């Protein structure tokens, strides 16, 4: 996969390298969250980030459906692989197992965080997490939460569902997901285990 977002230099911080499992959430789980999931997997593979894994689900998922055809084309165009996917409904188990939950809208974020105890500090909209990381340099989930604006004054528009719209709308949504996701992953990457990292493990999913 080729992107314009290079990994930043590895930093020396007093933190143990830990795997990060990301759960992406949208409504039907056939478009937006799938794009984010498959781009994250491609990014992890390209950069040798064995500690970075991803899955996705929907609050009103079309359970068992494959990726929407135009979404599949967008994923391929951005360097990901849409094959073998089936939509799943968001559940408590997924929320509890995730280290970071990234949704497309605030409503989805709130629904996800309500499913499991302790989920709120690790739940963000994708644009929200991108904004925090970009402005503050936050490079862990805990730091993203520390720099969150509880007042809501710094609200960032969500990523709208392109289903039912034009082919161009699908491309634009894919581009926006990539533009917010890759810089965020680049912030997290220096603290993620690589094959050479002692004790590097990949969480299930």
* pLDDT tens digits, one per residue of 15-62: 446 789 999 999 999 999 999 999 999 999 999 998 899 999 999 999
Give me the CATH number covering residue 115: 3.40.50.2300
pLDDT, residue 196, reads 55
Strands, E assignment, the chain: 20-26, 52-58, 100-103, 123-125
Q: Which domain holds residue 171?
A: 20-190
181 in any annotated domain: yes
198 in any annotated domain: no
pLDDT, residue 116, reads 96
pLDDT, residue 5, reads 39
Task: Report the C-alpha gap between 4 and 98 in whole angstroms.
Answer: 27
122 falls in which pLDDT band (50, 70, 90)?
A: very high
Tokens of 155: 């609200």
9 falls in which pLDDT band (50, 70, 90)?
A: very low
Question: Domains in the chain: how many in total?
Answer: 1
90 in any annotated domain: yes
pLDDT, residue 37, reads 98
171 in any annotated domain: yes
**Per mean pLDDT, which range of 38-42, 107-111, 194-198 is the poorest?**
194-198
| Number of other CB atoms surrounding residue 79 within 10 Å | 16
| Number of other CB atoms surrounding residue 134 within 10 Å | 13
200 falls in which pLDDT band (50, 70, 90)?
A: very low
Mean pLDDT of 104-108: 97
Q: What is the Cβ-side half-sphere exposure of residue 138, based on CA atoms within 13 angstroms? A: 19
4 in any annotated domain: no
pLDDT, residue 32, reads 98
Mean pLDDT of 106-113: 96
28 in any annotated domain: yes
176 in any annotated domain: yes
Q: Could you give the 3-state DSSP secondary structure of residue 82?
A: coil
| Beta carbons of 173 and 28 less than 8 angstroms apart | no
Mean pLDDT of 84-105: 97
205 in any annotated domain: no
């Amino acid at each position: 996969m080729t992107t314009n977002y290079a990994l930043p230099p590895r930093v020396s911080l007093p933190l143990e390298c830990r795997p990060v499992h990301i759960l992406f959430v949208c409504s039907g789980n056939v478009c937006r969250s799938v794009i984010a999931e498959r781009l994250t997997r491609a990014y992890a593979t390209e950069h040798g980030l064995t500690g970075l894994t991803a899955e996705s689900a929907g609050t009103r998922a079309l359970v068992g459906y494959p990726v929407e055809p135009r979404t599949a084309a967008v994923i391929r165009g951005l360097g990901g692989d849409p094959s073998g996917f089936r939509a799943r409904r968001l559940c408590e188990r997924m929320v509890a197992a995730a280290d970071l939950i990234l949704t497309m809208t605030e409503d989805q974020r709130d629904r996800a965080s309500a499913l499991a105890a302790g989920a709120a500090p690790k739940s963000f909209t994708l644009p929200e997490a991108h904004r925090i990381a970009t402005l503050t340099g936050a490079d862990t989930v805990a730091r993203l939460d520390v720099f969150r604006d509880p007042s809501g004054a710094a609200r960032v528009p969500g990523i709208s569902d392109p289903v039912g719209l034009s082919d161009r709308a699908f491309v634009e949504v894919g581009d926006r997901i990539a533009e917010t996701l890759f810089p965020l992953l680049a912030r997290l990457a220096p603290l993620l285990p690589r094959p050479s990292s002692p004790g590097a493990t990949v969480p299930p999913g």
